[in-house]
Amino acid sequence: MQANDVIVVTGAAGFIGSYLAGYLNHLGFDRLVLVDDFSNSRKSANLADKKYLHKVHREQFFDWAQNNPGIINYVFHLGARTDTTEMDYAIHKKWNLDYSKQIWELCAENNIPLVYASSAATYGNGEHGYTDSHDIVTSLHPLNPYGVSKNQFDIWALAQETAPPFWAGLKFFNVFGPNEYHKGRMASVIFHAFNQIKETGKARLFHSHNPAYKDGEQIRDFIYVKDVAAVCVWLMQNKPANGLYNTGTGKARTFKDLVKAIFDTLRIPEHIEYIDTPIDIRDKYQYFTEANMAKLRKAGYIPPFYSLEAGIKEYVSDFLEKGKFF
C-alpha cells in the first residue's frame, strides 16, 4: 500500500469502518472512498475530521466504480447489517450476502485485493470450537440470522474459482472502542457499563442461565478496535495466504473482569447488579468465545494485542470520559 493508493472502506460511517478510516489517515492514507448509507445523523460525528476523496452512497457504489474504472487499489468491506436481534433474514441476506458477493465480483474482475468482515457469530455456540479452519465452515450453526448470513458468505467465498488477487475474511470477536456511540443496544458491554457506572455508580450484568457458568463469569474474547484496524492493514500490506482469519486476542475474559477494569479506571468502588438476560436473546446467548489465533500468528502477525485492562483504560480515559471520537 502506497500513500497515493485509492482505498475503499465500506461501512465507513459505522463503528469499525470509521475507526479504520481514521487509522488509515494516521498512517498517511487519505485517498479514501467512504461507502455507506450516510442518512443516520448519529453517525456523522464518526467521519468528522476524516480525510478522504469521496463519499459514495452504498446503493450507488457499483455504478460509481463502473464510471471510475481502474481507480480503486484496495477494498476493505466492513459494511453490514450487524443487528443480531434482527430476525428477518431477508435484510441480512441483502446486505451481508448479496451485497458482499457484488463486492467480491468487483474485486475479482478488477484485480483488487479485498479484506472483508466476517464474524465470530458464525461459530454459534462453539460446538465445533473457534478455530478458523476452512474445513468446519459448512458444519457451523450460527445462532441468529446475522451469523447465518455471514457464514453463508464465507461458504460462498471459499467455493469461488474466480477470486480477488488477495482476500481475507476476518472473523471479528467482541470488538470495543471509540466511535460506537451510535450503536444503541448493539454497542459493546464496555460502552453500556461505562454509562451505567457514571449514571448510577453500579454496572448491570446478565444473570447466567447456564449452570456451567456463575453470574458475571460468562466468557468472551474482547478485542480493542485499534488491534482490529492494525490486523486489517497488516493483512492488506503483507498478503499472506487467502482465507478466513480469526480476529480476537486469543485470551477470553469474564464480564466481571471487564467491569472491574472500568471501575478501576474510573476509581469508583466496584458495585455489580445482575439482571435476567432478555428473553429474545436468551436461547441464542454465547457463554464462551475464544479465538484460536494460531493461523494469523503463523502468517506472521507479531504485534501483541491490547489486554482487556489496557484497552478499556485507553477507551474510557481518552474517549468515553471526553466524549471524543477517533
Output the 3-class SS for 269-311: CCCEEEECCCHHHHCCCCCECCCCCHHHHHHCCCCCCCCHHHH
Rounded distance, CA 311 to CA 315, Å? 6
Q: What percent of the chain has pLDDT over 90?
A: 89
pLDDT of residue 84 exceeding 90: no
pLDDT of residue 326 exceeding 90: yes
Give all domains of the chain, ordered by start, each with its CATH number: 7-175+221-250+287-306 (3.40.50.720)
313 is a catalytic site residue? no
User: Each residue of 170-222: pLDDT tens digit?
Assistant: 999 999 999 999 998 889 999 999 999 999 999 999 999 999 999 999 999 99
pTM: 0.95
Q: Contact 315/321 with Cβ under 8 angstroms?
A: no
Question: Among residues 183, 198, 202, 284, which one is catalytic?
Answer: 183
Largest CA distance in the chain: 58
Q: Strand 167-172 to strand 114-119: parallel, antiparallel, or no bridges (unpaired)?
A: parallel
Question: Among residues 123, 130, 146, 301, which one is catalytic?
Answer: 146
183 is a catalytic site residue? yes
What pLDDT is recorded for position 66? 96
Position with higher pLDDT, 42 vs 300? 300
pLDDT of residue 227 exceeding 90: yes
Rounded-to-5 percentages of helix, strand, coil across the chain: 45, 15, 40
Rounded distance, CA 321 to CA 181, Å? 12
Rounded distance, CA 98 to CA 92, Å? 9
